[in-house]
Structure 1
Amino acid sequence: MTYELTDFPQFEEVPQEQLDWLTEHLEIVEIPKGGYLFEKGSPIDHLTLVFEGDFELYFQQNNSRKSFGRIRKHDISGLLPYSRAKNAGGFAVAIQPAVIGTLNREKLHELIGKYYELTEVLVHEMNNRIRNITQIEVQNEKLIALGKLSAGLAHELNNPASAMVRSASLLQQHLKGLPADFKKVIKIRADDEAIDKINQFMYQKLEEKSSELSMLEQNTLEDDLYDWFSECSLEDRYDLVPLLVEYQFNTDDLLFVKSCLRDEDFNPVLKWIVQNMTTHKTVTDIKEASSRIETLVQSVKTYSYMDQSLDFQMVDIHTGIKSTLNVLNHKITKVGHKITTEFDENVPQIHGLPGELNQVWTNLIDNAIDALPKEGGELKVKTKAAGSFVYVFVEDNGHGISEEHLTRIFEPFFTTKEIGKGTGLGLDVAMKIIKQHNGQLKVTSQPGKTIFEVCLPINHNIEEENT
């Protein structure tokens, strides 16, 4: 069977004599379904033309297969003019029987030297390949970043949401017991003065809760209350004492309440006080949890600038950094890392793109977190104003960046992370955004101290003179 190069739309403008030369030197190869066009590590030493078939591109990640594209009929692959690729980074497996034509490296050199139009087509294909790979990698970088943010938000939202569910359940159980106690409460005989004293005293305790007690102080107070309850032969001591301790009721407080009442009324009133404290504590817990959710939602809204203009505008970089830290908080706190911030109050707003700048803070802070040691990790974020410029420093006490890697760290696709954990575009994207603002991004590193320094002009039309 004859396979014609004129069937390839890419060769439409290539002179026939050049196609004849290519046809003469092609080696036709048949690949069965399940066979490989190339495997990871295979040398890239042939130009490949796909006459028939369809190949799935994939790489292995954590013992699983991840597809990232296709090579189809009439695609051009393999070695292309001026390409520096040496070995395949993944696999290409035939998902149907295929027929390919290959041209070895030596003949490709001859092609480049003699046939301009054919070379031009192949160079154009290489440019398309670079553009497609870049798009795939950028998309992967975005998906990885989105995955990290989504996981963090799910974790951060789950804690307060679970706390609200628990508190609501406890409150529901608590309210079920109120009818029985209410019978005793309505039998209480007390004048208005006594009622006002107890009410005022109780709400003062609820609203003016003192600083937290130490463990020793809590145990001492708990023992005193249990002893006092035993001497007074009061019931429900094991239900009442823990809440009384939390709100720091001591024996003098109980004696004060007791002095306002008849003896038979003291226990029902004390239970009523504890019930109010239980309700107050539960509602406070729900309020704090819902406030945390509100803060996270606001942080995401601020981080994404979802309801604001995407054009250059006046930006408070502290707001962006804080919202980024909120979004990434789970990564910082889940293993006990310490974070400190030193924000210069004199830092003015700058003229910039807030969403893009937040990408910079995310990439720098996320990389710093990944570099922290398993124990004793410390991340510092510092800002300062100097003249017409604002500086942001992101410092970690990780293992540092080797001198060999330090010279390449801002190169696109350069990464020291495992497959699936980074594409090597984070710092490249950060650098492009900083340059878009006429700023600078630098790094210094030694074991135990790596600092990324961002310099941004207050007005993006100003360029730094002292580099």
Structure 2
Amino acid sequence: MALREEGLAHIETVGRKLLTFSRQSSRHPSHININEEIRLVLSLLAYRLEQKRISVQTELDEQLPPVFADGQLIQEVLMNLLINSYDAVAEQGRVIIRSGRQSDDRIFVSIADDGPGVPPEMIEKIFDPFFTTKGEGEGTGLGLSVSLGIVEAHDGELTVSSRPGETVFTIILPIAANEERHENSAD
């Protein structure tokens, strides 16, 4: 039994490294406005959200500096997180998306929903490849793992907090000036 668990842990580690590596090698970063990426993803999901009558509230800091990131990959992360919220909330549920300054050199985006929450014993596994809280055949269990790999490839963090009636995913990314200094020091 212990050998089996060790083998699964090894497979998960290899899978995560492969996902992260594949995302890093295909990055095309540029200066992006994170709020524009949020609005774009929301427009792509608008019909789906309206069909389930989900209320989406945005509290976006319009004074945020740009981040140096691959816009398409950041859109993929936002899409994964919003689809998870969509799946978690009941009809007429609520999702709140916030953006702001985390610190002098980092911004954050948080996506909170009023779904049932994630049990504490599942939180520690939530970013593991192939782990899903969805029913059989409803999810691959790769969305959050891929999202974590993308965010980490951008020198960022992806965190989750949950309690009954609320789950919040937070993306933290460095602002563009910090990324540029890092690149120039490598020359």
Task: Report the TM-score, using the length of structure 2 for normalisation.
Answer: 0.79
Question: 2:136 & 2:120 partners in 1: Cα distance?
Answer: 22
Higher relative contact order (CA 8 A, sep 6+): 2
Is structure 2 residue 71 aligned with structure 1 residue 354? yes
Match of 1:402 among 102, 110, 119: 119
Question: 1:312 & 1:334 partners in 2: Cα distance?
Answer: 34
Residue-by-residue CA offset, 1:284-314 (whole Å, 9 max, x unaligned): xxxxxxxxxxxxxxxxxxxxxxxxx952111
Q: Return 5+ residue gaps in structure 2 as ranges.
A: 20-25, 183-187
Please give the residue correspondences for 1:60-459 in structure 2 after superposition, counting only pairs within 5 Å: 83-84=4-5, 311-374=28-91, 376-385=92-101, 386-459=103-176
Question: 2:108 & 2:52 partners in 1: Cα distance?
Answer: 29
Question: 1:402 & 1:424 partners in 2: Cα distance?
Answer: 16
| Partner-residue secondary structure (3-state), 1:399 | coil
Residue-by-residue CA offset, 1:147-189 (whole Å, 9 max, x unaligned): xxxxxxxxxxxxxxxxxxxxxxxxxxxxxxxxxxxxxxxxxxx
Question: 2:85 & 2:34 partners in 1: Cα distance?
Answer: 19
Structure ID, larger Rg: 1
Deviation, 1:332, is: 1.0
Deviation, 1:85, is: 8.9
| Partner-residue secondary structure (3-state), 1:408 | coil
Question: Which of the pair is proportionally richer in helix?
Answer: 1
| Partner-residue secondary structure (3-state), 2:136 | coil
Question: 2:111 & 2:49 partners in 1: Cα distance?
Answer: 14
Please tell me whether the aligned partners of residues 89 and 115 of structure 2 are also in contact (alpha carbons under 8 angstroms).
yes
Deviation, 1:419, is: 2.9
Q: Return 5+ residue gaps in structure 1 as ranges.
A: 1-44, 46-81, 87-126, 139-308
RMSD (Å) for aligned C-alpha atoms? 2.6
Tell me what 1:184 maps to.
none
Corresponding residue pairs, total? 165
Identity %: 32
Tell me what 1:41 maps to.
none
Deviation, 1:318, is: 1.2
Q: Counterpart amino acid of 2:97?
A: V
